[in-house]
Amino acid sequence: MASGARHIQVTLPDGTSRRVPEATAAGDALTGPGGSLPREVLAVRVNGVPTDLATALREDASLEPITFESPLGKEVYRHSSTHIMAQAVKELFPSAQLAIGPAIEEGFYYDFGFERPFTPDDLEKIEARVHDIQKANHPFKRMEMPRQEAIRFFRERGEKYKVEILESINDETASLYSQGDFIDLCRGPHVPSTGRVAAIKLLSGAGAYWRGDERNAMLQRIYGTSFPTQAALDAHLAKLEEIKRRDHRKLGKELDLITIQDEIGPGLVLWHPKGAMIRLLIENFWREQHLQAGYELVYSPHVARLDLWKTSGHVDYYRDNMFVPMKVEASEYQLKPMNCPFHIMIYKSHLRSYRDLPIRYGELGTVYRYERTGVLHGLLRVRGFTQDDAHLFCRPDQLETEVSRVLDFTFLMLRTFGFSEFEVFVSTKPEKAVGSAENWAQATQALVAALNGRGVRHQIDPGEGVFYGPKIDIKIKDVLGRAWQCSTIQIDFNNPERFGLAYTGEDGKAHQPIMIHRALLGSIERFFGILIEHYAGAFPTWLAPVQARVLSITDKQREYAEAVVGQLRGAGCRAEGDLRNEKVGFKVREAEKAKVPYMLVVGEREMQGGTVSVRGRSGADLGAMSPAAVIDLIRADVAKATPARQPAP
């Protein structure tokens, strides 16, 4: 029987199915005879397996088109993009060796063995060549060969990294893709041809170790990104610009909030008055809320005997992240990397009854950790920072309720600071862990139950827990959609054991309490950095270090302007005056740059009428009103932003 006579059955996503001749290309099978495939379709899932559109079908299959809209589609698209870039590099720099070139979150990169770093100049040339290759519209062709043959092939071409990769894989068949004269080892799939990638931009070059190991050779990495339209690429580049514009290191300096100075030391933050004011507001809110939530606030010292950290296990498990101990009299003292031992010692200062539990100790505790110089980053990664820390001690039967309460509390805090999207992760028992399997199972169960009880969607990270217990991590998403991990809720089986924590139960016997570490904002420094970027420095009224600035038009309004400032301050508003001998346009400009929420212009008219002309941040004209009305405006803003706040008694 002639093979052409054989037909196979294909099923489409809409449930319809049709018969096509065997060996029909997957892409053609998707449309049926006479149909033409939409350009958005880049590849196709054949029985779930991502496949080139050109691949000949051999058996019955369900087909599903892959477009850029899906994460898989983006991966295919950018993976093809990086091959195009690699071709351009090989054409311009034939001695460059191909290492790896995957798609990543928002683009792609390719690592090359090359004798020197690529310069911005090189990138420009490479990008120009990339455009030529796109225009040439070379088809991506797949071929398969036995692994040994592929090894020989790449060895002859001097591609030692490809040989290494091939030697490390188990499959006996290797797949190669070619476009034009370029051939690369690749699993695929790819878009049909180089012309299908519309807009590519090379972003930066950087060094990267072969297989991420610093003992290996340094490769030269080129990052890039690509999109199906120039408009989408431009939008992405605009977003990168926006991220730069919001950089908290830049805004922190411009708005005179914080500095990190060489003379002080890397990773150590100076809070200037305006930054300190915002911190004070955050901390005041934090303390109020904790007292309402049934926490007791404590303080602990910045150093303690090294022995304490031996008991806690930090010397064994955390030494790499600790400053070296200092010798004082006959003993050694350690700058604190964590607050927990102190809270534990407060717990231990009395005998505790089951009736006392839960006990919740909270502290804005400043800790010092030795971070390697290469990882320091503005406020986001520092060496001295203040954790909004708390340790809860409870009975096993209270665990789930306590976790639920902490969850509610966390979301309330984060929402108040303007975050409304969250990603929640539960990390379970890692291989090396303390505590019995059933303790872990029980505690993990309690975490999951608390999340489910609150209807919080979450993902499980198997084996990602800390050695001392399971945890919940919460990431917030900022206005640009970037995720930041701040909150964490961790069960600890280790410290109650090490410190011999106990409470007396109903039965008169000693029992071990369960301990929960939790931080809502994480570190005040880091959270502040995130807040600066989230708000682009334009803090909402309740957090703005200056809520209103009074701008006088001439010297004649000096006294009146001062009186307005006094009235606002008397009502608890943070107001200041700009009475300088300058034009009002200049004063407005400066107030705008300082991102003051309300500008109150006072001239002859306002002085006569006992009013101020209110200009909102970014130009809104709110008209003339009395200072009392401005106070109401500010109070309404504050009340709206902090619904959790109870009126003071």
Partner RNA sequence: GCUGGCGUAGCUCAAUCGGCAGAGCAGCGGUUUUGUAAACCGCAGGUUGGAGGUUCGAUUCCUCUCGCCAGCUCCA
- By annotation, the residues acting in catalysis are 340, 369, 387, 389, 391, 471, 517
> Candidates 135-143, 358-366, 414-422, 614-622 — which segment interacts with RNA by CB under 7 A?
614-622
Rounded least distance, CB 536 to RNA, Å: 11
> Candidates 10-18, 99-107, 432-440, 629-637 — which segment interacts with RNA by CB under 7 A?
99-107
Residue 115 binding RNA, by CB under 7 A? no
Residue 633 binding RNA, by CB under 7 A? no
Residue 593 binding RNA, by CB under 7 A? yes
Paired with 361 in beta bridges are 296, 391
**377 to 416, contacts with RNA by CB under 7 A?**
377-378
Distance between CA 129 and CA 131 in Å, rounded? 5
- Residue number with CB closer to RNA (475 or 511): 475
Out of 125, 141, 160, 253, the only residue in the binding site for RNA (CB under 7 A) is 253
Q: Which amino acid is at 632?
A: D
> Candidates 33-41, 323-331, 576-584, 632-640 — which segment interacts with RNA by CB under 7 A?
576-584
Residue 562 binding RNA, by CB under 7 A? no
- Residue number with CB closer to RNA (515 or 553): 553
Q: Closest Cα to residue 391, out of 286, 514, 308?
A: 514
- Residue number with CB closer to RNA (179 or 613): 613
Residue 165 binding RNA, by CB under 7 A? yes
How many helices (DSSP H) and strands (DSSP E) are in the chain?
A: 19, 33
Out of 104, 143, 280, 636, the only residue in the binding site for RNA (CB under 7 A) is 104
Cα diameter, the chain: 105
Distance between CA 160 and CA 114 in Å, rounded? 12
Site string for RNA, 457-496 (x = CB under 7 A): ----------------------------------------
In terms of DSSP bridges, do strands 97-98 and 575-578 run parallel, antiparallel, or are they unpaired? unpaired
Distance between CA 456 and CA 448 in Å, rounded? 9
Residue 144 binding RNA, by CB under 7 A? no
Rounded least distance, CB 68 to RNA, Å: 18
Q: Residue 375 has what DSSP assignment?
A: G
Distance between CA 442 and CA 470 in Å, rounded? 10
Residue 184 binding RNA, by CB under 7 A? yes
- Residue number with CB closer to RNA (275 or 469): 275
The dihedral built from the CA positions of residue 56, 61, 65 and 71, taken in this order, carries a sign that is: negative
- Residue number with CB closer to RNA (135 or 239): 239
Question: Are 285 and 315 a contacting pair, CB within 8 Å?
Answer: no
Paired with 552 in beta bridges are 602
> Candidates 1-9, 260-268, 292-300, 316-324 — which segment interacts with RNA by CB under 7 A?
260-268
Count of Cβ atoms closer than 10 Å to residue 73 Cβ: 20
Rounded least distance, CB 349 to RNA, Å: 39
In terms of DSSP bridges, do strands 331-335 and 326-328 run parallel, antiparallel, or are they unpaired? antiparallel
DSSP element (H, E) containing 127: helix 120-136
Q: Closest Cα to residue 636, out of 547, 566, 551, 564?
A: 547
Residue 613 binding RNA, by CB under 7 A? yes
The dihedral built from the CA positions of residue 461, 464, 468 and 472, taken in this order, carries a sign that is: negative
Residue 581 binding RNA, by CB under 7 A? yes
Q: Give start and end residues of each alpha helix (H) in 293-371.
A: 306-312, 314-317, 340-348
Residue 50 binding RNA, by CB under 7 A? no
Residue 169 binding RNA, by CB under 7 A? yes
Paired with 178 in beta bridges are 141, 183
Rounded least distance, CB 528 to RNA, Å: 15
Out of 52, 64, 402, 606, the only residue in the binding site for RNA (CB under 7 A) is 606
Out of 151, 424, 550, 588, the only residue in the binding site for RNA (CB under 7 A) is 588
Out of 158, 554, 569, 628, the only residue in the binding site for RNA (CB under 7 A) is 554
Which residues have C-beta within 8 Å of that of residue 515, sequence separation ≥ 6?
Answer: 344, 391, 392, 393, 491, 492, 495, 496, 501
Question: How many residues touch RNA (CB under 7 A)?
Answer: 68
Rounded least distance, CB 231 to RNA, Å: 25
Residue 324 binding RNA, by CB under 7 A? no
> Candidates 14-22, 62-70, 583-591, 641-649 — which segment interacts with RNA by CB under 7 A?
583-591
Distance between CA 523 and CA 529 in Å, rounded? 10
Q: Could you tell me the CA-to-CA distances from 608 to 309, 411, 568, 624, 632 in Å, in that order?
A: 68, 48, 19, 12, 22
Distance between CA 478 and CA 484 in Å, rounded? 8
Distance between CA 103 and CA 84 in Å, rounded? 12
CA 377 to chain centre: 14
Residue 264 binding RNA, by CB under 7 A? no
Site string for RNA, 195-234 (x = CB under 7 A): ---------x-xxxx-xxxx---x--x-------------
Distance between CA 23 and CA 395 in Å, rounded? 66
Distance between CA 86 and CA 291 in Å, rounded? 59
Rounded least distance, CB 244 to RNA, Å: 9
Out of 615, 631, 641, 642, the only residue in the binding site for RNA (CB under 7 A) is 615
Residue 509 binding RNA, by CB under 7 A? no
Which residues have C-beta within 8 Å of that of residue 401, sequence separation ≥ 6?
Answer: none
> Candidates 124-132, 229-237, 340-348, 375-383 — which segment interacts with RNA by CB under 7 A?
375-383
- Residue number with CB closer to RNA (199 or 553): 553
Residue 619 binding RNA, by CB under 7 A? yes
Rounded (10°) angle between helices 399-416 and 437-453: 50
Contacts with RNA, residue ranges (CB under 7 A): 98, 100-105, 117, 165-166, 169, 171, 174-175, 184-187, 204, 206-209, 211-214, 218, 221, 249, 253, 260, 262, 265-267, 372-378, 553-556, 581-586, 588-589, 592-593, 599, 601, 603-606, 613, 615, 618-619, 621
